């Protein structure tokens, strides 16, 4: 047993030495970027927190390196095998991998200083220019300090590891008996379990992601805690996924020219600035509070307004009659991340890709940023963990000051893997909004409900009329929103607030009408406020990408529109496009076009009657028109996103 503890002490020594030296690289990066922290007014921007989170991320990477040696040492201990050769092999493993970790951390310092982001999969684009890259590294004198740091850290680690290794070699005469071997087995299982937990990084529903490093409003401190090797590995894995491969639906130049004309984009320097449309201010400009509510899976087909006869949404139907209500709106995709991304930043969902989830977080100029830059407090309330879909990191990078998530709520309010229920989310948000208002700051609050997503939990305080659980949960979601608006109407900020209600995406409701059921994408969109003129119905075609321009148009603001959305109260689209993972859809007032690129299959349906008619073979002009519109928009979006032309910076 003493031999096992001797070997264990060696593993701990190497592990701790690795963590300390990785923290040394972070300390150097901190001092090089100190200007980003100096004068920071955010009380949450405490550098020590970034270093603690950095140790957390470093430990994840270190546990990956530790796992195999821990298993090997544990098995060897059972058989009292701990020769000098064995431990030299184990030590060689540590030295090899930590040398790479130190090399990545050293290279990350000048890379971060130049790009303001950690090493990521994009560096592999330089592999074909090996000579040029090496020349750049060794010709630039400012890189020498990082090279020296790498050499010093590696030498220190080798020295510590070799000394610890010498002390780990077994006393071959100290043979464990059966009882001691049982103890070794129990301890080994416990230690391996802890190591696997270290790799996972946390106890929650999701393993650790880049988002876990984000904790304040300072972008430098938020990134400081991320381990460069972790970031490089995650971004490489993300880039290798099929859904993240560059799409090539059509010729890029043709797509850009078509989209530019369709959206009336006048700037010629698209390859440098992306799409830029200057929107002039209206005669009347208002600065209301804005509350945007994403309703989970709330297909328009659940509402009586759109033909449902089961009275599932009496509140939403009533609200629609009191709002500026858009009846022909379609979600960008069929997942929450698609709907949130498209609504807030006016870029479409590109097939099944999750634009928020990458290890390298892209910057966008969207609704949160515009309002934040205009002095608004921007807040996001979600029911689940903040790491879900990388939301914490993505939103803090792209315009949100405060994130409220499962970590902030009482544990007894968590009802399933998606956190708290809708009514509690609304109940929690109201006093936060009132406090913000009392501070004299206008706010933009986004609330993302989740109850209408399995696993369904119907609270005991609610009595549904339906027998079917899937309908009961829709009734509950509607009831929770009624309670929210009733309580909001009693708040001092209510009369000066615009409420936006829309679904993140739809759901399969009723009969399947095509290979791409429209109930998944047809969603309600309502703008309600005492500030707005009399209620009205708007029948123009639109999508979630149009929500932000339409809202800013209602407010009368001057701004630069850098997305693909339009103000639906001032412009009309000839059709609207959307996706459903592996399919593209485009609909106008008479036809619905569906395209599955992987199979090269396409359909065109005439939608005028109760039963749709397949006109794929008989209406080639309509098919070509809708296909060109949809694929041009998606190809243009891919061009802009892939080249980071999504912001004015």
Q: Which two tokens stand for residue 429?
A: 């948000």
Q: How is the chain split into domains, by residue range?
A: 2-240, 276-560
Query: Both ends of the chain: CA-CA distance in Å?
Result: 61
Residue 251 confidence (pLDDT): 96
Question: Known binder of ligand: residue 309?
Answer: no
Rounded to whole angstroms, the maximal C-alpha distance in the chain is 92
Complete DSSP assignment for 407-434: GGS-GGG--BTTBS-HHHHHHHHHHHHH
CA of residue 510 relative to chain centroid, distance: 31
164-216 tens-digit pLDDT = 999 887 656 555 667 777 878 898 899 999 999 999 999 887 889 888 998 98
Report phi then psi at 455, rounded to 5. Answer: -75, 135
Average pLDDT over residues 63-76: 94
Give just the sign of the alpha carbon dihedral 318, 323, 327, 329: negative
Antiparallel, parallel or unpaired: β 522-528 and 497-503: antiparallel
pLDDT tens track for 571-604:
999 999 999 988 999 999 999 999 988 878 899 9
pLDDT of amino acid 173: 54
The b/e string for 538-561 (b: 16+ C-beta within 10 A; e otherwise) is bebbbbbbbbbbbbbbbbebebeb
Q: Which residues contact 234 (CB under 8 A, 6 or more apart)?
A: 209, 210, 359
Distance CA 118, CA 111 (A): 7
Instruction: Let me know: does 16 contact 55? Beta carbons within 8 Å.
Output: no
From residue 30, give the alpha-carbon distance in Å to each of 47, 116, 140, 197, 219. 9, 12, 21, 28, 12
pLDDT digits (tens, 9 = 90+) for 131-167: 545 555 555 567 889 999 999 999 999 999 999 999 8
Percent of the chain clearing pLDDT 70 (strictly above): 95
Residue with tokens 């830059």: 373
Closest C-alpha among 347, 292, 264, 318 to residue 554: 292
Question: What is the rounded average pLDDT for all residues in the chain?
Answer: 92
User: Which tokens belong to 40?
Assistant: 């920071």
Q: What is the pLDDT of residues 387-416, one digit of tens each?
A: 999 999 999 999 999 999 999 999 999 999
336 is in an annotated binding site: yes
CB 411 within 8 A of CB 438: no
Confidence bin at 360 (pLDDT 50/70/90) = confident
- Sequence-separated (6 or more) residues with CB below 8 Å from residue 204: 385, 387, 406
- Contacts of residue 124, Cβ cutoff 8 Å, sequence gap at least 6: 236
What span, in angstroms and rounded, lies between the C-alpha atoms of 205 and 385?
8
CB 637 within 8 A of CB 347: yes
Judged by phi (left if over 0) then psi (alpha if -120 to 50, else beta), residue 248 lies in: beta
334: left (phi over 0), alpha (psi -120 to 50) or beta: alpha
Q: Give yes or no for a cis peptide into 368 (omega within 30° of 0).
A: no
The candidate with the shortest Cα–Cα distance to 403, out of 645, 212, 559, is 212
Candidates 558, 589, 559; CA nearest to 576 is 589
Q: Are strands 377-382 and 402-404 parallel, antiparallel or unpaired?
A: parallel
Residue 490 has which token pair? 């009693």
Distance CA 397, CA 395 (A): 5
CATH architecture designation of domain 276-560: 3-Layer(aba) Sandwich (3.40)
Answer yes or no: is 402 a known binding residue: no
The verdict on whether 85 is a catalytic residue reads no
| Model pLDDT for residues 301-350, shown as the tens digit of each residue | 999 999 999 999 999 999 999 999 999 999 999 999 999 999 999 999 99
Buried b (16+ CB within 10 A) or exposed e, 453-488: beeeebeeeeebeeeeebbbbbbbbbbbbbebbeeb
The reported pLDDT for the residue numbered 129 is: 46
Q: Which of 259, 313, 336, 343 is catalytic?
A: 336
pTM for the whole structure? 0.81
Q: pLDDT of 451-479, one tens digit each?
A: 999 889 999 999 999 999 999 999 999 99
Mapped onto helix, strand or coil, the DSSP state of residue 79 is coil
What pLDDT was estimated at residue 520? 93
Among 248, 275, 266, 268, which Cα is nearest to 565's?
275
Checking if the pLDDT of 649 tops 70, the result is: no
């Amino acid at each position: 047993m003493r031999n096992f503890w001797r070997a264990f002490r060696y593993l701990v020594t190497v592990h701790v030495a690795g963590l300390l030296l990785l923290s040394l690289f972070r300390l150097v990066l901190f001092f090089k970027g100190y200007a980003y922290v100096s004068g920071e007014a955010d009380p949450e921007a405490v550098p020590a927190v970034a270093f603690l989170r950095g140790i957390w991320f470093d430990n994840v990477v270190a546990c990956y390196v530790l796992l195999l040696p821990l298993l090997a040492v544990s098995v060897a201990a059972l058989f009292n095998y701990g020769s000098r050769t064995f431990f030299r092999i184990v030590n060689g493993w540590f030295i090899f991998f930590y040398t790479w970790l130190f090399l990545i951390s050293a290279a990350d310092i000048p890379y971060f200083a130049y790009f303001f982001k950690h090493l990521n999969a994009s560096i592999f684009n330089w592999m074909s220019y090996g000579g040029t890259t090496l020349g750049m590294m060794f010709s630039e004198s400012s890189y020498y300090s990082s090279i020296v740091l790498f050499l010093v850290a590696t030498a220190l680690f080798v020295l510590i590891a070799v000394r610890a290794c010498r002390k780990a070699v077994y006393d071959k005469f100290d043979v464990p008996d059966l009882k001691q071997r049982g103890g070794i087995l129990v301890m080994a299982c416990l230690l391996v379990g802890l190591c696997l937990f270290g790799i996972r990084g946390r106890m929650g529903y999701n393993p650790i992601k880049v988002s876990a490093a984000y904790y304040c409003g300072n972008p430098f401190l938020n990134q400081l805690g991320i381990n460069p090797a972790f970031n490089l590995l995650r971004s490489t894995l993300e880039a290798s996924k099929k859904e993240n491969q560059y799409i090539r639906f059509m010729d890029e130049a043709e797509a850009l020219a078509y989209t530019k004309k369709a959206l009336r984009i006048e700037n010629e320097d698209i390859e440098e600035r992306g799409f830029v449309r200057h929107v002039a201010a209206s005669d009347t400009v208002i600065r209301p509070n804005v509350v945007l509510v994403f309703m989970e899976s709330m297909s328009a087909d659940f509402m009586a307004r759109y033909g449902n006869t089961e009275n599932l949404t009496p509140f939403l139907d009533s609200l629609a009659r009191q709002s500026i209500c858009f009846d022909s709106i379609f979600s960008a995709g069929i997942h929450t991340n698609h709907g949130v991304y498209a609504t807030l930043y006016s870029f479409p969902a590109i097939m099944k890709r999750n634009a928020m989830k990458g290890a390298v977080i892209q910057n966008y100029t969207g609704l949160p940023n515009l309002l934040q830059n205009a002095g608004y407090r921007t807040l996001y309330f979600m029911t689940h963990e903040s790491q879900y879909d990388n939301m914490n990191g993505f939103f803090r990078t792209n315009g949100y000051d405060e994130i409220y998530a499962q970590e902030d709520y009482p544990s007894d309010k968590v009802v399933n893997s998606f956190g708290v229920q809708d009514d509690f989310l609304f109940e929690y948000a109201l006093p936060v909004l009132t406090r913000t208002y009392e501070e004299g700051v206008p706010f933009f609050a986004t609330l993302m409900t989740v109850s209408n997503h399995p696993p369904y939990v119907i609270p005991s305080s609610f009595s549904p009329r339906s027998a079917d659980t899937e309908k009961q949960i829709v009734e509950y979601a509607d009831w929770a929103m009624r309670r929210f608006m009733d309580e909001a109407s009693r708040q001092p900020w209510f009369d000066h607030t615009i409420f936006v209600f829309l679904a993140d995406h739809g759901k399969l409701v009723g009969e399947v009408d095509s290979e791409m059921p429209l109930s998944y994408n047809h969603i309600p969109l309502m703008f309600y406020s005492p500030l707005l003129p009399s209620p009205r119905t708007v029948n123009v075609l639109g999508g979630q990408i149009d929500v932000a321009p339409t809202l800013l148009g209602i407010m009368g603001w001057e701004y630069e529109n850098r997305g693909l959305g339009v103000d639906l109260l001032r412009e009309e689209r000839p059709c609207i496009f959307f996706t459903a993972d592996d399919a593209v859809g485009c609909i106008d007032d008479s036809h619905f076009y569906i395209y599955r690129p992987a199979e090269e299959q396409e359909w065109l349906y005439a939608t005028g009657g109760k039963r749709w008619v397949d006109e794929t073979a008989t209406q080639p002009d309509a098919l070509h028109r809708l296909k060109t519109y949809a694929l041009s928009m998606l190809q243009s979006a891919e061009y802009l996103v892939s080249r980071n032309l999504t912001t004015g910076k």
